[in-house]
Amino acid sequence: MNFGIIGSGSWATAIAKILTDNGNTINWFIRNDKTIAHVKHRKHNPQYLSQVYFNTDQLLLSSSIETVVKNSEILIVVIPSAYAEEALKVLPREAFKGKKIISAIKGILPGSNQLLNEYLAENFEVELNNYFTILGPCHAEEVASEKLSYLTFSGVDENEAKHVSTFFKTDYINVVTNTDVVGVQYAAILKNIYALGAGIAHGLEYGDNFLSVYIANCAHELGVFVKQLMWDENDESEQNLVNYATSVYLGDLLVTCYSLYSRNRTFGNMIGKGYSVKAAQLEMNMVAEGYYASKCVHKTNQIVKAQIPIVQTIYEILWEHLSAEEGFKKIETLLK
């Protein structure tokens, strides 16, 4: 099986490690030719997870996304959602014909306010049965350290999702599958917003007791949004089969809110300490998906109309100049 990776950040590098550890040769799109030269010569990504060393005989590196897509049967898209449309728009409409796509994007594409599968269907005629998601809870840094992690693969055909997942199972990666393709993507989007809020709370010097209540309420709100988004009056029983206490929902929310590896928590912590959004972005030099996601979910919820006041308040802090202190005084009154 020929795998292609589109992206070169920390999560893309972690996925490259998983696949090459399993003996796969991968096509890898890295935009920067200097980075490609460094990987070839020094055998590691100079900017992300630099402790991970590769057998470069297993890497077919290219700064041409067209070449990587053409030479791959399964493509893993691991670009920050804010940049995905820009990267993919150079491809012809038939580029993904006959290929399987695995999304490792944890955000909404802000230009079109779409999930990746919606964007690919509209612009490249990718059918949902050829689309899969790979989600956590799983920090790239722990994959690099080979600490046991769990990945959830979602696909409308669970047998196909199980087949795809087998290429990622290692001594340090366990895999599980489900069929909730849209729900898991929105859960990942929302947990980044909530984690950013957890960081703000930490920056404002709230303690662990408050944070535990905050996260419990976030978990409830996440379920409310996804259920309302996915509601089908003709298939009520199917909606009740989703267990929002499992790892890809609650587990990913917990680790992203608590872990010091979480860039969304780190970004929020800076906001809570008084940094402007621009200053926090410059300081981190990494994308915090929750920032863009808060605006996208705000737009989406104008249609869905779910009761998600925590997300709304974080959106107001980030985009409408509500002070962090005032916003969290408001959140205090919402928690149960």
Query: Residue 281's pLDDT is what?
Result: 87
Q: Tokens at residue 203, please? A: 């920056």
Query: Residue 230's pLDDT is what?
Result: 83
Q: Concatenate the DSSP letters of all residues of 229-282 into one string.
A: HH--TT-HHHHTT--TTSIIIIIHHHHHHH-TT-HHHHHHHHHHTT--HHHHHH
Query: Residue 233's pLDDT is what?
Result: 45
**Residues with pLDDT less than 50, the chain:** 233-234, 237
Contact 178, 248 (CB under 8 A): yes
Residue with tokens 């590769």: 54
CA distances to 88, 99, 117 from 323, rounded to whole Å, are: 36, 47, 35
Q: How far apart are the first and last CA of the chain?
A: 50
Q: Identify the H or E element spanning 176.
A: strand 173-178
Domain ranges of the chain: 3-179, 182-334
Q: What is the pTM of this model?
A: 0.93
Q: Which CATH class is domain 3-179?
A: alpha beta
- Looking at the chain, the whole-number percentage of residues with pLDDT higher than 90 is 89
Q: Name the amino acid, one letter, at 64.
A: S
Question: Could you read off the pLDDT of 214-261 as tens digits, one per residue?
Answer: 999 999 999 999 999 987 544 554 555 688 888 999 999 999 999 989
Average of per-residue pLDDT values in the chain: 94
The three-state secondary structure class of 157 is coil
Q: Name the amino acid, one letter, at 334.
A: L
CATH fold of 182-334? N-(1-d-carboxylethyl)-l-norvaline Dehydrogenase; domain 2 (1.10.1040)
Q: Is 13 exposed, middle or buried (0-12, 13-18, 19+ CB in 10 A)?
A: buried
Helix 289-304 crosses helix 309-319 at what angle (to 10 degrees)?
A: 130
Q: How far apart are CA 187 and CA 136, in angstroms?
A: 11
* The pairing of beta strand 149-154 with beta strand 131-135: antiparallel
